[in-house]
Chain A
Amino acid sequence: KQEVTQIPAALSVPEGENLVLNCSFTDSAIYNLQWFRQDPGKGLTSLLLIQSSQREQTSGRLNASLDKSSGRSTLYIAASQPGDSATYLCAVRLVETSGSRLTFGEGTQLTVNP
């Protein structure tokens, strides 16, 4: 059974700091990994999608890496801003015999202080 773990569970940093969020998964036979952010009471916003054949993806101040063999992904946020405060979730897509499903981690709650 695929398990996804995110460390740390919560993180508080001053504005402007660079930071790294970690995600690990137990089954390396994945199709892809996706990072999301969730604001309180809201749905999930897709940040980055990394296919299993890729090593990293970048979007603006965000960079996500994937090491499938070791079952790890990191989300790097450069020059953090108060607007980055949210819960960040990673999810892996394990293709089963029919269809596919996302398995989510518990999330990292990020607070960026002005």
Chain B
Amino acid sequence: KAGVTQTPRYLIKTRGQQVTLSCSPISGHRSVSWYQQTPGQGLQFLFEYFSETQRNKGNFPGRFSGRQFSNSRSEMNVSTLELGDSALYLCASSLQSSTGELFFGEGSRLTVL
């Protein structure tokens, strides 16, 4: 059974650009959540989607957005990139939204120059 797949694994952007990251959850999992990991702030929750609906959102500016498709795949988008957006972006999926075990992908490492 394939795990959580994130693409791309690495990318470099410049300030002001935008980026789209993709996440394919484990087959059958309907809940997808996104986290940002930085050395200074640790792991911080971005948002959670369940059955194409955003169920929860973390404390990030509106430049960070996401969506979930009918096949449970999810994308997150960051517009007008800033240097501080450089981070490892991790996607996690679970069978159930509230109580299920979370399984993480390898992450997408974004560097903003």
- B interface footprint on A51-94 (CB within 8 Å = 1, 0 otherwise): 10000000000000000000000000000000000000101010
Q: How many A-B residue pairs have CB under 8 A?
A: 65
Number of interface residues of A (CB under 8 A): 27
Q: Contact between B42 and A104 (Cβ–Cβ < 8 Å)?
A: yes
**Residue with the greatest number of chain B CB neighbours at <10 A, chosen from A44, A49, A102:** A44
Least Cβ–Cβ distance between A109 and chain B, in angstroms: 12
Q: Write out the residue numbers on chain A whose beta carbons fall within 8 Å of the beta carbon of B42.
A: 104-107
- Min distance, Cβ B56 to any Cβ of chain A, angstroms: 3
Contacts of A101 in B (CB 8 A): 33, 45, 48, 56, 58
* Size range of the chain B interface in the assembly: 20 to 34
Q: Mark out the residues of chain B between 48 and 101 whose CB falls within 8 Å of any chain A CB in the assembled complex.
A: 48, 50, 55-56, 58, 90, 92, 97-99, 101
B98 near A100: Cβ-Cβ < 8 Å: yes
Interface of B is mostly: strand
Q: Which of A34, A41, A103 contacts B102 (CB 8 A)?
A: A34
13 contacts between A and B (CB under 8 A): A31-B98, A31-B99, A34-B101, A42-B106, A42-B107, A43-B90, A43-B105, A44-B90, A45-B104, A93-B99, A99-B50, A102-B92, A107-B42
Q: Give chain B's interface residues, CB within 8 Å of chain A.
A: 4, 6, 33, 35, 42-45, 48, 50, 55-56, 58, 90, 92, 97-99, 101-107, 109
